[in-house]
């Protein structure tokens, strides 16, 4: 469902005017969601399509921006590594990324699987269309797609010479340049395509400590493709790409404080007062911070692939071979303040992956079929470093009972009041990870009649994960002999978690053509997400030793039910698509906050059961020539059906242990060892979300050419959602609506000049909220972009 509106979908008839969509021309929107080309309205699947024209017009130049057009797609990112793409609220645990588990939303570019979600933060380079497939896609796209898949197709090399160029300038120093050229290299046998993109923009947050604006953009991407028509039946496509980001990023800043169960003189206000510290602003939308650790978010992603397509018998045989790399070089301020609590937090990583897929798609009588083999191997190495500063003892250690007015220190010899205890405490982490997956899959479409089709699918998958985590911790004097307070903050650990298992995924879909332009379908899918291993350090027992049983998490087991209706009417000038879904996941993989007092990172755990259910609707229409209107909406009901031993939210954390917990937010109160959050919201999911808008174009004569002048408006809305794995009164993000406008002139296949304003009403809202470690009550967040404006010139030749 949620097929893109006519203005956002490319008709099969390329001769149609740029402003014309499939609804008016009668052209069909073609997709490859089922690994063969077919009309999107014939696919019994919840799918939406955004073509290059819509991406360019709306400024949706990466997955994060695409969410304003796709109500069921969510993207959260505190930095490129710690990013998550979710569909219908599912896909990846909410919180810091743990390398030992899979994403639940697979990203594919030109049929190559991208295992690093960081790739979603890069600009689209020379993209032809983006298909967002909702619901489990385990049969054809693999076990890493329990929530859906994002299938991106770039423009192919052309034997007709062509070129494109685009320049955008805007406030905040925005400069974005894109371009591509394509044409024959050797007659009608070899064609080449080269493309590039670069984006730079100043940061939106001013750091008074460094006198710099942070949360900037600095993206570079290049891509090349070579198409060789080796024979009349064999095409070979060689492709390579390189992408780099190197911005001053990514700051999370002071938002508010909330009362926890810690003693009052151990909460943020009192701790800050002990250092005569105050944040430069207590209004996050002043966009000012004083972070004292340099921020860095440098990453490189690239690779090469060979796709071979051979017409064979009644179908085609496809081989996709690919190698990819990811290099991550960060620096973070993990205490979110200008105080020297954590002075270094960096986990530079290097990843290499290899994939191979063989697939045959064909037709025989009343049967369409796809069958294939897939192999994946990944190697990852991370060299982590964390260093505590002179303020760490006061913030992270518990001094016990102290007199009133003492600002949290009874005597200078108390560990919490002695900076030497934690100052210079250093953890050097060495992390290795290997991940191997092999699979055999097949999907059959049986045309029982001209109207009725049955589509069973099956995938058999084997996964093996091995890891090694070693943390060597030294004191400020270089000693490896630690006391209990020091081990409670940075614990020496060495463990080698493993996971291996077979699983079987399957789906069954029945579809029926109720009328010429009315398709009804029903789907059941049984899907799995591979089990994982914890590679961010383990929680500690009462003796501050790692709990080895927490080294792995179970696979997710998904049962998914969906019904849908796809319709077109008014001579295909109007499209209305509807779907309803019900998804239950047992052993849901969650990133949870470690409840121990000083520990700075979360870890993985299984929630017993979660449920997401709802409905989606999309309507688009062209009532008159030149006018496109669309509205898409989603209702999503979501909850932890059963999660009885979850970490508690901050208002119930940080107190003493006891049989009866105190009321939430009672300073010096009693905290439960864990919390039963069954029936509560899942993080990151809005109950209501929508996108809407339209464009009106009027023919004009301009500089002797037939042209159009046009005005476009796009809006989006999402209701309140939780920004913490265990819902907290302090981390709910209020609902918000955004509006973008654009206006300009264009000619067909020559040029397009328009001005644009995004977030027209300068709405203040947060992308994410998070907690400072140690249960101090500090809530930090990432303010979203303010109003931005600029102009774009696009040339086609």
Residue 233 has pLDDT above 80, yes or no: yes
Residue-wise pLDDT for 478-509, tens only, equals: 999 999 889 888 989 999 999 999 999 999 99
In a domain, 1, yes or no: no
Structure tokens at 27: 């052209």
Residue 582, CA distances (Å) to 70, 83, 134, 522 in order: 19, 25, 12, 12
Low-confidence winner among 56-70, 158-172, 340-354 (lowest mean pLDDT): 56-70
pLDDT at residue number 23: 33
Q: Return the higher-pLDDT residue of 545 and 233.
A: 233
User: What mean pLDDT comes out for the span 686-707?
Assistant: 92
* Whether the Cβ atoms of residue 465 and residue 433 lie closer than 8 Å to each other: yes
In a domain, 746, yes or no: yes
3-state secondary structure of 509: strand
pLDDT at residue number 600: 37
Residue-wise pLDDT for 91-118, tens only, equals: 887 766 778 888 889 999 999 999 888 8
Ordered DSSP codes for 654-686: SSEE-SSPPPTT-TT-EE-SSB--TTSPPTT--
User: What mean pLDDT comes out for the span 169-178?
Assistant: 97
> Quick one: what percent of the chain has pLDDT higher than 90?
71
In a domain, 714, yes or no: yes
Query: C-alpha 3: how far from its chain's center?
Result: 20
* Whether the Cβ atoms of residue 771 and residue 146 lie closer than 8 Å to each other: no
Any residues with CB less than 8 A from the CB of 631 and at least 6 apart, and which? 618, 619, 620, 690, 691, 692
In a domain, 305, yes or no: no
pLDDT at residue number 5: 38
Ordered DSSP codes for 261-313: SS-GGGSHHHHHHHTT---S-S-GGG-EE---S--EEEEEEEEEEEEEEEEET
Nearest to 669 by CA among 650, 653, 648, 649: 653
The residue range of the domain holding 624 is 6-300+310-796
Residue 690, CA distances (Å) to 61, 101, 534, 716 in order: 20, 31, 36, 5
User: What mean pLDDT comes out for the span 50-79?
Assistant: 87
Strand pairing class (656-657; 556-569): unpaired
In a domain, 629, yes or no: yes
User: What mean pLDDT comes out for the span 280-285?
Assistant: 97
Cis peptide preceding 582, ω within 30 of 0:
no
Q: Return the higher-pLDDT residue of 162 and 6.
A: 162
CATH, residue 39: 2.40.170.20
- pLDDT category at 656 given cuts 50, 70, 90 is confident
- pLDDT category at 269 given cuts 50, 70, 90 is very high
pLDDT at residue number 398: 74
Query: C-alpha 444: how far from its chain's center?
Result: 31
* Whether the Cβ atoms of residue 97 and residue 119 lie closer than 8 Å to each other: no
pLDDT at residue number 19: 30
Structure tokens at 267: 């909460």
CA dihedral 484, 488, 493, 496 (to 10 degrees): 130
Rounded to an integer, what distance in angstroms lies between the CA atom of residue 220 and that of residue 300?
10
Number of domains in the chain: 1
Which residue matches tokens 């796009």?
A: 714
Low-confidence winner among 6-15, 131-140, 660-669, 779-788 (lowest mean pLDDT): 6-15
Average pLDDT, the chain: 89
Rounded to an integer, what distance in angstroms lies between the CA atom of residue 178 and that of residue 222?
10
- pLDDT category at 592 given cuts 50, 70, 90 is low
Q: In what order do the strands lie in the sheet with 47-51?
A: 47-51, 127-134, 148-154, 105-109, 112-114
Residue 50 has pLDDT above 50, yes or no: yes
User: What mean pLDDT comes out for the span 686-715?
Assistant: 93
Rounded to an integer, what distance in angstroms lies between the CA atom of residue 86 and that of residue 793?
33
Reported in sequence order, the residue ranges of 122-189 that DSSP labels E, i.e. its strands, are 127-134, 148-154, 162-170, 174-186
Residue 654 has pLDDT above 90, yes or no: no
* Phi, psi for 788 (deg, rounded to 5): -130, 155
User: What mean pLDDT comes out for the span 408-423?
Assistant: 76
Alpha helices in 322-420 (DSSP H): 392-396
In a domain, 144, yes or no: yes
* Phi, psi for 120 (deg, rounded to 5): -75, -10
Rounded to an integer, what distance in angstroms lies between the CA atom of residue 210 and that of residue 293?
9
Query: C-alpha 257: how far from its chain's center?
Result: 28
pLDDT at residue number 484: 86
* Residue 596: CB atoms within 10 Å: 18
Rounded to an integer, what distance in angstroms lies between the CA atom of residue 84 and that of residue 710?
35
Residue 646 has pLDDT above 90, yes or no: no
User: What mean pLDDT comes out for the span 603-629?
Assistant: 92
Rounded to an integer, what distance in angstroms lies between the CA atom of residue 662 and that of residue 489?
25
User: What mean pLDDT comes out for the span 295-303?
Assistant: 95
In a domain, 652, yes or no: yes
Reported in sequence order, the residue ranges of 390-492 that DSSP labels E, i.e. its strands, are 426-447, 452-474
In a domain, 406, yes or no: yes
pLDDT at residue number 53: 86
pLDDT at residue number 541: 73
**How many DSSP H helices and E strands does the chain contain?**
7, 45
> Quick one: what percent of the chain has pLDDT higher than 70?
92
Taking the model in full, what pTM does it have?
0.91
pLDDT at residue number 413: 55
For the ranges 22-36, 508-522, 531-545, the maximum mean pLDDT occurs at: 508-522
Q: What angle (nearest 5°) sits at the alpha carbon of residue 706, between those of residues 164 and 193?
A: 15
């Amino acid at each position: 469902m949620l097929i893109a509106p006519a203005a956002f979908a490319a008709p099969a008839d390329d001769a149609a005017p740029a402003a014309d969509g499939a609804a008016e021309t009668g052209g069909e929107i073609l997709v490859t969601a089922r690994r063969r080309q077919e009309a999107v309205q014939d696919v019994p699947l919840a799918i939406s399509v955004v073509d290059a024209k819509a991406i360019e017009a709306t400024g949706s130049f990466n997955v994060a921006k695409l969410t304003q057009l796709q109500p069921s797609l969510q993207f959260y990112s505190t930095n490129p590594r710690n990013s998550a793409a979710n569909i219908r609220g599912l896909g990846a645990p909410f919180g810091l990324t743990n390398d030992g588990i899979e994403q639940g939303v697979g990203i594919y570019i030109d049929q190559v699987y991208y295992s690093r979600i960081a790739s979603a933060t890069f600009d689209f380079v020379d993209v032809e269309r983006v298909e967002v497939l909702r619901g489990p896609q385990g049969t054809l796209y693999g076990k890493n797609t329990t929530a859906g898949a994002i299938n991106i197709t770039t423009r192919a090399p052309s034997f007709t010479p062509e070129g494109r160029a685009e320049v955008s300038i805007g406030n905040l120093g925005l400069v974005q340049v894109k371009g591509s050229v394509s044409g024959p290299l050797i007659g009608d046998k070899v064609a080449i395509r080269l493309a590039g993109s670069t984006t730079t923009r100043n940061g939106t947050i001013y750091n008074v400590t460094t006198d710099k604006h942070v949360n900037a953009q600095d993206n570079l991407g290049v891509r090349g493709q070579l198409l060789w028509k080796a024979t009349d039946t064999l095409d070979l496509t060689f492709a390579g790409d390189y992408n780099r980001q190197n911005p001053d990023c990514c700051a999370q800043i002071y938002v508010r404080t909330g009362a926890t169960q810690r003693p009052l003189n151990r909460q943020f206000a009192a701790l800050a007062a002990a250092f005569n510290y105050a944040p430069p602003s207590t209004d996050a939308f002043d966009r000012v911070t004083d972070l004292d650790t340099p921020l860095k978010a440098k990453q490189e992603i690239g690779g090469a692939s060979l796709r071979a397509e051979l017409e064979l018998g009644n179908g085609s045989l496809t081989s996709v071979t690919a190698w990819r790399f990811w290099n991550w070089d960060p620096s973070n301020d993990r205490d979110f303040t200008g105080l020297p609590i954590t002075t270094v937090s960096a986990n530079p990583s290097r990843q290499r992956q290899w994939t191979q897929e063989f697939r045959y798609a064909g037709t025989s009588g009343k049967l369409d079929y796809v069958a294939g083999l897939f192999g994946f191997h990944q190697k990852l190495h991370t060299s982590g470093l964390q260093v505590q500063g002179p303020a760490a003892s006061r913030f992270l250690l518990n001094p016990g009972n102290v007199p009133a007015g003492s600002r949290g220190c009874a005597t200078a010899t108390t560990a919490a009041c002695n900076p030497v205890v934690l100052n210079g405490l250093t953890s050097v982490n060495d992390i290795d990870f290997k991940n191997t997956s092999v699979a055999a899959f097949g999907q059959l479409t049986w045309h029982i009649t001209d109207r009725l089709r049955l589509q069973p699918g099956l995938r058999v998958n084997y996964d093996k994960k091995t890891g090694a985590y070693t943390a060597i911790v030294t004191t400020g004097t270089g000693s490896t002999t630690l006391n209990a307070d020091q081990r409670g903050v940075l614990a020496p650990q060495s463990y080698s978690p493993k996971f291996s298992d077979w699983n079987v995924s399957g789906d069954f879909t029945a579809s029926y053509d109720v009328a010429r332009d009315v398709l009804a379908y029903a789907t059941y899918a049984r899907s799995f997400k591979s089990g994982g291993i914890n590679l961010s350090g383990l929680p500690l027992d009462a003796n501050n030793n790692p709990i080895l049983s927490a080294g792995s998490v179970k696979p997710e087991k998904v049962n998914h039910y969906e019904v849908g209706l796809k319709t077109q009417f008014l001579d295909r000038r109007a499209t209305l698509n509807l779907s309803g879904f019900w998804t239950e996941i047992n052993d849901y993989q969650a990133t949870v906050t470690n409840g121990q007092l000083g520990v700075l990172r979360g870890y993985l755990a299984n929630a017993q059961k979660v449920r997401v259910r709802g409905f989606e609707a999309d309507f688009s229409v062209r009532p008159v020539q030149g006018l496109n209107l669309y509205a898409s909406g989603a209702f999503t009901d979501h909850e932890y059906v059963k999660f009885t031993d979850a970490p508690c939210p901050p208002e119930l954390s940080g107190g003493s242990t006891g049989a009866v917990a105190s009321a939430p937010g009672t300073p010096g109160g009693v905290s439960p060892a864990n919390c039963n959050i069954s029936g509560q919201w899942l993080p990151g999911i809005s109950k209501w979300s929508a996108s809407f808008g339209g464009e009106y174009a009027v023919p004009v004569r301009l500089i002797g050419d037939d042209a159009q002048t046009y005005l476009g408006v796009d809006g989006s809305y999402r209701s309140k959602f939780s920004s913490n794995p265990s819902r907290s009164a302090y981390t709910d993000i209020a609902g918000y609506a955004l509006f973008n406008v654009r206006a300009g002139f264009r000619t067909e296949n020559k040029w397009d000049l328009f001005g644009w304003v995004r977030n027209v009403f300068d709405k203040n809202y947060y992308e994410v909220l998070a907690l400072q470690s140690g249960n101090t009550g500090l809530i930090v967040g990432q303010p979203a972009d303010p109003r931005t404006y600029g102009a774009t010139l696009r040339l086609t030749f």
